[in-house]
């Protein structure tokens, strides 16, 4: 069973803080600043991990007590340079990296050693992403996360260490079990 990260996009999302199966939260950096700080505090007060993502995540990281960030490198023209720049600001924080669903980009991102790599999955093209995930799992030691992008994706067959779901997606998954 993989670990789960809950993707929180608004104050209305259920954090399920008492759920022992949820140890990490991904907080959208577009959430109002005061609320974002409050969410990070709530999460850390119960001993769980909070990561920021989105366009403002790196700028907000130093002003919060978040544990790290998730960056989208899928449009990066220089992955090595971008990761070095991010690491300088992040210091010892956790760094997750989304990359294009291509072997070459997955290798480039992995060579620069984020803490985990993320592949997004859409139902259209899910077979190719599954093939990529299996290949990646054979050759790399970095933790791999998957992020289903629509409800039709059957992510249970992926050899992922981590699955990133919204609270609603997580509740549906648990209800099916």
Cα angle for residues 48, 26, 40 (degrees, 5° grid): 55
Q: What is the pLDDT of residues 116-164, one digit of tens each?
A: 999 999 999 999 999 999 999 999 999 999 999 988 888 999 999 999 9
**What pairing do the DSSP bridges indicate for beta strands 116-121 and 94-98?**
parallel
- Fold classified for 3-176: TIM Barrel (3.20.20)
Q: Domain map of the chain by residue range?
A: 3-176
Compute the chain's Rg from CA coordinates.
16
Q: Confidence band (pLDDT; 50, 70, 90) for 175?
A: confident
Query: What distance in Å separates the CA atoms of residue 103 and residue 110, rounded to the nearest whole number?
Result: 10
Return the percentage of the chain with pLDDT > 90, whole number: 89
Listed in sequence order, the residues at least 6 apart from 102 whose beta carbon sits closer than 8 Å to its beta carbon are: 132
Q: What is the pTM of this model?
A: 0.94
- Cα–Cα dist 80/33, whole Å: 30
Under a CB-based contact definition with an 8 Å cutoff, are residues 148 and 165 in contact? yes
């Amino acid at each position: 069973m993989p670990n789960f990260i809950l993707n929180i996009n608004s104050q209305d999302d259920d954090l399920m803080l008492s759920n022992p199966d949820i140890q990490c939260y991904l907080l959208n950096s577009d959430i109002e600043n005061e609320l974002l700080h409050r969410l990070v505090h709530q999460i850390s007060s119960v001993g769980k991990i909070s990561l920021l993502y989105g366009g403002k995540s790196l700028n907000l990281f130093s002003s919060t007590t978040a544990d790290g960030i998730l960056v989208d490198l899928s449009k990066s023209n220089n992955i090595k340079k971008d990761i070095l720049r991010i690491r300088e600001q992040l210091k010892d924080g956790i760094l997750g990296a989304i990359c294009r669903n291509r072997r070459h980009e997955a290798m480039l991102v992995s060579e620069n050693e984020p803490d985990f790599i993320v592949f997004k999955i859409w139902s259209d093209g899910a077979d190719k992403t599954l093939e990529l995930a299996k290949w990646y799992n054979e050759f790399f030691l970095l933790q791999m996360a998957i992020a289903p992008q629509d409800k039709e994706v059957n992510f249970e067959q992926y050899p992922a260490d981590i699955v990133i779901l919204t609270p609603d997606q997580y509740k549906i998954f648990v209800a099916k079990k």
